[in-house]
Chains A and B, each alone.
Chain A
Amino acid sequence: MWSRRARLLLGSGLVFAGALLLSPWLGDGLDLTYSGDSFILWQLRLPRVLLASAAGAGLALAGVAFQALLRNPLATPYTLGVSSGSALAIVLFLVAGLDARLGGSLGRPLVGMAGALLVIGITYRAARVRGHLPAPTLLLAGVTLTYVFSALIVAVQYTATPEDAALILRWLVGSVESGLGYLPPAVVGAVLVVALAGLLPLGRAYNALSGGEEAAQGVGVDSARVARRSYFFASILVGSIVAFTGPIGFVGLIVPHCLRLFGAVDNRTLLPAAALAGAGFLAICDGLTRLLFAGRLPVGVVTQLLGGPFFLVLLLREKRRLY
C-alpha cells in the first residue's frame, strides 16, 4: 500500500513525464528523415516544450507559496502585483530597445526579476505593521498595484509605434514561442532549481501558517522570515518566467487547487507535486495549441480556454460532494 504522498508525487511525475514525451509530437506530423522536420523538432518544438515545462512548474510553485502565505486559495503571482510589475519592467525594457543592446536575451530575465522584487518590496513595506503582515492589507496593496501597472502598460502600448505595440500585445498574451532556442528554458530552469531549494523546505511552516499567523508563531514559525524568503524566491521565479513568456495566467491557480482536490493539502507534498503537475500541464497546453489551433493561438490563451471549463467542472463536482 503506497502512502498518499507517494501516490500523489508519482501521479504528478507521470503527468510531467507523459507531457514531456507526448507534447513535441502534437501538431503537424514530423518525418525525421527530412532535415527540415528534424530542425522543427530539435530547434523549435523541444525548446518550447522545455520552456513551457519550466514556466508551468515555476508558476504552480509560486502559486502554492502565495496561497499558503496569504491563506487564500485564490492568491496567485497576479494577486500581489508581482506578475504585472515585472511585465511593466519588461515592456519598458522592450520599448526602449534595450533588449538587443544590453546583453541581448540575458538582460531580460534580470529586468523581470528586478521588477518583481521591486513590486513585492513596495507591497511588503506598505502592508507591514509592527512586524506583522496582515493578509488583507497585503492583498489590497497588491491588487491596487496590479491596476496601476496594467494602466501604465496600456499607456506605454498606446503611445508606442505600431511595431512596438504589436510586439507588446503578442508578448502580453503569454507565449512559450520565444524564438530564442534553448536559452530561455536554460535560464528559467536554473532559477527554478534555486527557487525549489529555497521553497521546498518551507512545507511544514506553510502548514502551520494555514491556521493563522499567531497559531504558526505559537508553534515556532518565524512568520516574517518565512514570508520574506517565500516572496524573494517566488518573485525571482515569476520575474524570470514573465521575461520570456509574458504573463501566463491560471496555472498558479488551478494546478494547486486540482491537487488539493486529489488530497494534496499537506504543503510538504503539494509543493513538489505542484511543480511536477504544473510542468506537465503547461507542456500539454502548448502541444494542444499546435494540435487544435495549428499554433496560431498563443499558449496563454489556450491555457485559459481549456483550463477554465475543466476547472469549472472540477468545482461543480466538488460542490456536489460537499452539499
Chain B
Amino acid sequence: MGSLEFMGLGVRYGARAALEGVSGAIRPGDRVGLLGPNGSGKTTLLRALCGIVRPERGSVLLDGKEIGTLPRRAIARGIAYLPQEERWEFPFTVEEVVRCGRFSHAGPLEREGAGDHAAIEEALRAVDLLAMRDRPITELSGGERRRAALARSLAQEAPFLLLDEPTSALDLEHRQAILRVLKLTPGAVLLATHDLDLAAEQCNRVVVLDAGRVAAQGAPGEVLTEALLERVFRVKARVHQFEGRIHVVAES
C-alpha cells in the first residue's frame, strides 16, 4: 500500500522557523491526528509532506522516493491534500469540482473512463451531495462547499489523505457522516484539527506540534493529558475518559 516517511524536516518563513526537526511516518491504515495551537506548524507540515512547500532541511519519502523529485501528478496519485480553505470564483457545479480530483488519473486529452465515473459517484454519495451535484458551488453554504472539497479528495483515491480541518463549518449530522467516511476509507489519513475530542475518537495516533517541533506523540489516551494541554495549549483543562473516549473540558 505504500509508505510516507519524513525525517528532520525544517521549514523557515523568513526569519521564523515554521518547522524544526520534525520526523515520523504514516503507514497504511493509520489514522493520525495532527494537533497544536494556531501557528504551531500543522498546515506547513501537511504542505511539506505533499511537496507544495520545499523544506530547507530533511526529506520526505513517498514509497521510498524523495518527494521533490516526483512530478506533481505522481505525487497526487499517492497523496490527496485537502487545503484548509478555498474560494471558488466561477459557478462550477459540485460534480465538476469533484471531477477535479481525477486530474492525476488521466492525461489532458484522455477521456473519462468508467473508473472516473465510479469514483466521482462514490465520493458524492460519501459526503451526501448526490442530490446537489448540479448546483453551482458558489451558491452553496460553507459546510456544503467543505463537503464538496472533501469529496474531491476522496475521488482522488490516493493511499494517503492529508486533510486540513476537514470538519470545519460542518453541522453535527454531517460531521458524524464525515467521521464515518474517514473511518471506512481505505487510505491512511493524516488529519490536522483543533477538535481534540475528534482526534481522540478517530485516531490511533496523535502528533502534537508546538512552535514547529513535535511536543508529544503516541496513543491519544497517553498523549492528551492535562499537563500537556497546559504546557502546549496554555489552557487549564480537565480530561474526562469514559467508554474509551476522551472529552476535554477547558476551565474558564
Name A residues whose Cβ lies closer than 8 Å to a Cβ of B: 71-73, 130-131, 201-205, 207-208, 210-212, 214-222, 260, 265-266
**Is A219's CB under 8 angstroms from B83's CB?**
no
Distance from B62 Cβ to chain A, minimum over Cβ atoms (Å): 13
Interface residues in B, total, Cβ within 8 A: 37
> Are B52 and A217 in contact, CB atoms less than 8 angstroms apart?
yes
A35 to B76, CA, bound (A): 64
What is the distance, in angstroms, from B91's C-beta to the closest C-beta of chain A?
Answer: 6
Q: Is B96 an interface residue (CB 8 A)?
A: yes
A187 to B88, CA, bound (A): 37
Interface centre among A71, A220, A265 (most CB of B within 10 A): A220
**A220–B90 CB distance below 8 A:** no
Whether A131 touches B87, Cβ cut-off 8 Å, given contacts A217-B72, A265-B92, is no
Instruction: Give the residues in chain A near B86, CB-CB below 8 Å.
Output: 211-212, 214-215
Chain A binder among B31-39, B97-105, B213-221? B97-105
Q: Which chain A residues lie closer than 8 Å to B99 at the CB level?
A: 207
User: How close is A197's CB to chain B, nearest CB, in angstroms?
Assistant: 11
Least CB separation from A261: chain B residue: B91
CB under 8 Å from chain A, chain B span 12-52 = 47, 50, 52
Chain A neighbourhood of B85, CB < 8 A: 212
Partner of A260, one of B71, B91, B96, B152: B91
CA distance A131 to B68 in the complex (A): 13
* Residues from chain A with Cβ under 8 Å of B243 in the complex: none
**B149 interfacial contact with A, CB 8 Å:** yes
Main secondary structure, interface of B, reads: mixed
Q: Nearest chain-A residue to B105 (Cβ)?
A: A220
Which of B54, B87, B108 is A201 in contact with, Cβ under 8 Å?
B108
Could you give 18 example pairs across A and B, Cβ below 8 Å?
A: A131-B54, A201-B108, A205-B108, A207-B99, A210-B92, A211-B86, A211-B97, A212-B85, A212-B87, A214-B81, A215-B152, A217-B52, A217-B72, A219-B104, A219-B152, A221-B103, A265-B136, A266-B92
Residues A214 and B103 in contact, CB atoms below 8 Å apart: no
Q: Is B73 close to A, CB under 8 A?
A: yes
Bound-state CA distance A267–B33 (Å) is: 37
Interfacial chain B residues near A266, Cβ < 8 Å: 92, 96
Given A211-B86, A212-B87, A218-B81, A265:B72 Cβ within 8 A: no
Docked Cα-Cα span, A71 to B76, in Å, equals: 22
Q: Which residues of B contact A210 (CB under 8 A)?
A: 88-90, 92
Q: A207 to chain B: which residues have CB within 8 Å?
A: 92, 96, 99-100
Q: How far is the CB of A28 from chain B (nearest CB, A)?
A: 43
Give the complex CA separation of A201 and B50 in angstroms. 25
Check B103–A211 contact: CB distance below 8 A.
no
Residue of A nearest to B73 (CB): A220
Q: Given A131-B54, A218-B50, A218-B81, answer yes or no on A71-B103 (Cβ-Cβ < 8 Å).
A: no
Across the interface, which residues of B come within 8 angstroms of A218, CB to CB?
50, 52, 76, 80-83, 153
> Which residues of the partner chain A approach B82 to less than 8 Å between Cβ atoms?
215, 218
- Contact residues of B between 92 and 135, Cβ < 8 Å to A: 92-93, 96-97, 99-101, 103-104, 108-109
Q: Which residues in B have their C-beta under 8 angstroms from that of A204? A: 100, 103, 108
Q: Is B156 an interface residue (CB 8 A)?
A: yes
Closest 7 CB pairs between A and B? A220-B76, A220-B104, A218-B81, A201-B108, A214-B83, A208-B100, A222-B72
**CB distance A220 to B92 under 8 Å?**
no
Tell yes or no: B75 within 8 A of A by CB: yes
Rounded to whole angstroms, the CA-CA distance of A202 and B107 in the bound complex is 10
| B84, chain A: closest CB distance, angstroms | 9
CA distance A73 to B72 in the complex (A): 27
- Known A-B contacts A131-B54, A211-B149, A214-B52; A219 and B100 likewise in contact (beta carbons under 8 Å): yes
Residues of A within 8 A of B136 (CB): 265
Q: Which residues of B contact A205 (CB under 8 A)?
A: 103, 108
A71 touches B100 (CB 8 A): no
Q: Give the distance in Å from the alpha carbon of A131 to the alpha carbon of B77 in the complex.
A: 22
A202 near B103: Cβ-Cβ < 8 Å: no
Known: A73-B89, A207-B92, A265-B90. A220 touches B83 (CB 8 A): no
Complex CA gap A218/B46 in Å reads 11
Residues of B near A214 (CB, < 8 A) are: 47, 52, 81, 83, 86
Chain A, residue nearest B152 (CB): A219
Tell me which of A202, A220, A265 contacts B96 (CB under 8 A): A265
**Looking at the complex, which one of A208, A212, A221 makes contact with B83 (CB distance below 8 Å)?**
A212
Please, what's the 1-or-0 string for B148-187, where 1 marks a CB less than 8 Å from any CB in chain A?
0100110010000000000000000000000000000000
Q: Find the A residue at minimum CB distance from B93.
A: A265
User: In whole Å, how far is A73's beta carbon from the nearest beta carbon of chain B?
Assistant: 6
* Chain B, residue nearest A72 (CB): B89
**Distance of A103 Cα from B76 Cα, bound (Å):** 49
* Chain B hits for A221, CB < 8 A: 72, 103
Q: Which residues of B contact A72 (CB under 8 A)?
A: 89
Q: Which of A210, A211, A217 has the most CB of B within 10 A?
A: A211
Query: Which B residues lie within 8 Å of A222 (CB)?
Result: 71-73
A55 to B91, CA, bound (A): 27
11 extra A-B contacts, CB within 8 A, seeds A71-B87, A205-B108, A207-B100: A205-B103, A207-B96, A208-B103, A211-B88, A214-B52, A214-B83, A218-B81, A220-B76, A260-B90, A265-B92, A266-B92
